[in-house]
Amino acid sequence: MLIELLRASADRDSRRALVVSDSRTATVGEVLARAEAAGAELARRRPRRLACVIEDVASLVAVLCGAAASGTEVCVCPTYFDDAALNELLDSLDAALVVTDTGRRPAGRDVVTVAELCAPSGAAEDSYDLAEDPELLILTTGTTGKPKPTRQRWSRLVAGIANDPGSRWLLTYNVNQFAGIQVLLHVLVNDGTIVVPASRRPTDAAAAIAEHGVTHASGTPTFWRLLLVDAGSSAGIGQHEMPLRQITLGGEVVPGDLLERLHRAFPAARITHIYAGTEFGSAVAVSDGLPGLPASLLERADGGRAQLRVVDGELQVRSTVGMVGYADDDEIAGEWFPTGDLVEVSGDRVMFVGRINDRINVGGTKVSPHAIEAAVHAVDGVALAAAYGKPNPITGSIVAVDVVAAPGHDPAVLKEAIRRGCEALPPAARPRLIRFVDTIEQRGGKVVRAAAADAGGSLR
Amino acid sequence: MRDHESLVMDTVREMVERRTGTPATVTLDSDMIADLEMDSLEIAELSAVLEEEYGEDPYTAGTLARTPREVLAFYQSASSSKDG
């Protein structure tokens, strides 16, 4: 199905740009030729599973399309994994063949380079039988634990993609994660273009948006917060005319203040937040400008993509666009999936209050890092914040918060402003340690609170 | 690294003033629980600030220091045992 999208797109215009970066443009025709070559070669080799460790986006698209066409189950592996983590993953997946453009050669495995796999072979598109509905493995981002491989079907993933012809998407994610695959599919379904920024730093992202005419950008709330800080600086997006028509947020809780700030900065863009997870797919899209989800979604008997319910405060999803199951486990399609997201129904909205496993126990009182971060993010001068529990001999834990200050803000003044901004929180939830740091570790664009807890920021 | 006495006295004074909203008088012998009415969260905060600055603190080491002087005695004792 994937290669059929590419073939149809090439039939319409094979010279259209599919993947664009500052240094290179790959056309639909070029990527299709490489995908056909990869498909023919994989049909000849027939590996049980193919592991992709690929950095170049156009190459990854070609290999994914070739693998899907030949019926090869493929796992997109994070390129940031070190050798030990990669070997452990490959062992657990029993991946027979590894394709890479990184120069890495995992010991004891057959390794083929992207150049070898996608070398022009003169393969015609009818040189092998097209697979009907192949599967792929995508890892969860692992911000709250070890990444877990999920088994997905391309048909289900494509079913959740909206029609929006000609869109030019900024790639703020890796294509090896669920949200990155979503961007890829949006582009393949809609004859679109992927724009790859020079880096994921906000300045480079803003430059790519302006220089390459990006119309659609999807990122985590963390990504957008940092981009807005850049908007306020002289070198940032304030210098560019922004052609954005669609702003999409997902992967983390989306607070109301961020939606308002984005609307002020990009008044012409539609702003949508997505409730999605690697396991249950892209379940709900909300574009009404308000945080949380409409409570009416809980009453849908036949929910289209997904049904939602709340059990003991936890949101559960039954989805038609989610995973088939975890890697080699039984199929779980059709079952309710416990998301781990804690919610409260407030009026006509379902509001997110935290994750089941990230509450901080302060002397027996359980506090949510999300509520603390929302209070800190509302303080002018805070670019990004991560709240977490720090072990303490008196109360078990206390609340600490790492803060990246926006340029031009004095930490001592900002610290007092944060303390005042948190006075409305219950005493146990008020940050007792406020540390100013240059960066906060992210994985897949999301803040990693566990990393903040382990790091030694400087206390001022 | 800040001088132990100024960090302890400043931290305790700031915490009390933050709670009461009025200037506080803190001496080396003020009983932080009885005189200054610090609660467990404030003692926990003091412990965290000291641990962050010096890498160790009396409360984590199992000493329930009630006055700034007792806090400082912990560091003097730790320093003498290292020197010895």
Mind listing the pLDDT tens digit of every residue in chain A (460 residues)? Answer: 789 999 999 999 999 999 999 889 999 999 999 999 999 999 999 888 999 999 999 999 999 999 999 999 999 998 888 888 888 888 888 888 999 999 888 888 899 999 999 987 655 556 667 777 788 999 987 766 678 899 999 888 888 788 888 899 999 988 888 999 999 999 999 999 999 999 878 888 988 998 999 999 999 998 998 888 776 654 445 545 668 999 999 988 888 889 998 998 888 899 999 999 999 888 899 999 999 999 998 877 665 778 999 999 999 999 888 888 888 777 776 789 999 999 999 999 999 988 888 889 998 888 889 889 999 999 999 999 999 999 999 898 999 999 999 988 999 999 999 999 999 898 999 999 999 999 888 877 778 776 666 554 333 3
Task: Please name the amino acid found at residue B19.
Answer: R
- Who contacts A250 (Cβ-Cβ below 8 Å, separation ≥6)? A179, A218, A220, A273, A274, A275, A276
A231, burial (CB in 10 Å: exposed 0-12, middle 13-18, buried 19+)? buried
Model pLDDT, residue A101: 94
Model pLDDT, residue A455: 55
Instruction: Write down the ipTM of this complex.
Output: 0.90
A326, A149 Cβ separation under 8 angstroms:
yes
Cα(A192)–Cα(A163) distance, integer angstroms: 11
Model pLDDT, residue A292: 94
The greatest distance separating any two alpha carbons of chain A, rounded to the nearest whole angstrom, comes to 71
Cα(A316)–Cα(A342) distance, integer angstroms: 10
Contacts of B18 in chain A (CB under 8 A): 419
With an 8 Å Cβ cutoff, the interface of chain A facing chain B consists of 362-363, 390, 392-395, 398, 400, 419, 427-428, 432-433, 435, 459
Q: Do A394 and B18 touch (CB under 8 A)?
A: no
Model pLDDT, residue A357: 80
pTM, to two decimals: 0.80
Q: How far is CA A352 from CA A105, A252, B50, in A?
A: 43, 10, 35
- Who contacts A1 (Cβ-Cβ below 8 Å, separation ≥6)? A68, A133, A154, A155, A158
What is the mean predicted confidence (pLDDT) over B35-55?
Answer: 93
Helix (H, G, I), strand (E, B) or coil at A3: helix
Q: Do A432 and B45 touch (CB under 8 A)?
A: yes
- Who contacts A20 (Cβ-Cβ below 8 Å, separation ≥6)? A26, A193, A194, A195, A196, A212
**Which residues, listed in sequence order, are joined to residue A402 by a DSSP beta bridge?**
A386, A435
- Who contacts A27 (Cβ-Cβ below 8 Å, separation ≥6)? A14, A15, A16, A17, A18
Q: Which of B41, B52, B62 sits opposite A459 (nearest CB)?
A: B52
Contacts of A437 in chain B (CB under 8 A): none
